Amino acid sequence: MMRFIITCLVIALSVYVAYHGLEYDHGFIRLTTRSPGNRTGVKAPEKSPFDDNDDLMTWYMEDDSDHQSYSLHYDFYQDSCPTAERIITIGIREVYAAKPSVAPSLIRLLFHDCFIEGCDASVLLDADESLTSEKEASPNQSLKGFDVIEWIKSELEKVCPGVVSCADVLVLAAREAVLMAGGPFYPLETGRRDSVVAFKEIAERELPSPQASISVILARFGTRGFNERETVSLFGAHSIGITHCTFFEDRLYNFSGTGKPDPDLDTGFQQELKTKCPYSASAPSPSTGVGPSIPASDYGGVSSAGGSDGVVDLSYNNEGGEMNFGTRYYRRLMQKKGLMYADQQLTGREETEMWVRAYASDTPLFRRDFAMSMMKLSNYHVLTGPLGQVRTTCSKVLPKI
């Protein structure tokens, strides 16, 4: 009888712990209450990492459940696929050596995946009889890098079949792309799983346009838990890659239907851009909302009018060198040389302009903030544990058994 009672008590305690969790507090283990939150069932951090001045690694790795990154953890594949991260790193470096444009492509691909229902590799899925692909959404039609992710995934499948998720491949590949382009390294936990559905309609509606107002930008990022500082720091990715004239041509010739240039655009810069972007009657107005989303740093090669148009290098021939990743973007904003309407909008409000000014003059601050924001983006609304699946091909959902 006593053995039966003890067994019942152990079972009851196990159920309680499984539901509520354990917390380590100064040498003691205590029961905690778990709040509902994101798709992992664990409450997301309420405190922004920017609310104090802790060192990046100290903040990310401290033993505090409020700062834990969902149910991901470091070296998730240590036993199941110990060479996974090395395979991804080597793969990206090989591609970057041959084609540096892969860096902005992968950063943009990560943003388009994570911003729509979380970092679940849903953007990688092709359409089939059961789903409509996010690739078909207007802001996604110029995305690149799918072939790179698929190639790396195939290399992983040779070594560890069915183990490493496409979602993890994408976040790790994007991190390496940032590093290759001169940006900061940032630590990432792994253990994400892949979505079995896609979200074309949400992508169509929620990805902010290059012509978006500052109110729209802050609202879209704010609903995903990003404050003004984090939002401005993510825009630093606009310091690499290319864009096409069709996405800012209205600022040169017919801003807001006035028949005149945008008064917030430096006049000398206007003339420089006009030599690359001759007048086109099809120039869009800022209200169209059509085109690639932001932050986006490798806009596609076809104009919305259906033909090829001029190209502008967002790095301005790697102005200031790779260590000026990000900061050159903010310096240009301070000079009224922001290319996209949405870019220059960051100087239009005090709560965003203060961070533009700070990042323009303080490179270490920007690199720290950008790294932390990329970590936060990479962990947004992830699938873990029994949720989702691990695809063997990133463009296809595993068939039901």
User: Which residues does the annotation place in the binding site for heme b?
Assistant: 238
| Token reading at 304 | 């919305």
Among 164, 128, 123, residue whose Cα is nearest residue 144: 123
With the CA atoms of 312, 318, 323 and 329 taken in that order, what torsion angle do they form, in degrees rounded to the nearest 10? -30
CA distance 224 to 202: 14
CA distance 98 to 180: 12
Among residues 20, 26, 67, 112, the one annotated as catalytic is 112
| Token reading at 337 | 């040389």
User: Which residues does the annotation place in the binding site?
Assistant: 113, 118, 120, 122, 134, 208, 238
Evaluated on CA atoms 340, 186, 103, 145, the torsion sign reads negative
Q: How far is CA 248 from the centre of its chain?
A: 22
Strands 22-25 and 311-313: unpaired
User: Which residues does the annotation place in the binding site for substrate?
Assistant: 208
Using left for φ > 0, alpha for ψ between -120 and 50, and beta otherwise, residue 326 falls in left
Tokens 């310091």 found at = 239
User: Which residues does the annotation place in the binding site for Ca(2+)?
Assistant: 113, 118, 120, 122, 134
Given a contact cutoff of 8 angstroms between Cβ atoms, the answer to whether 314 and 241 are in contact is yes
Residue 26 among the catalytic residues: no
At 132, the amino acid letter reads: T
Residues noted as catalytic:
112
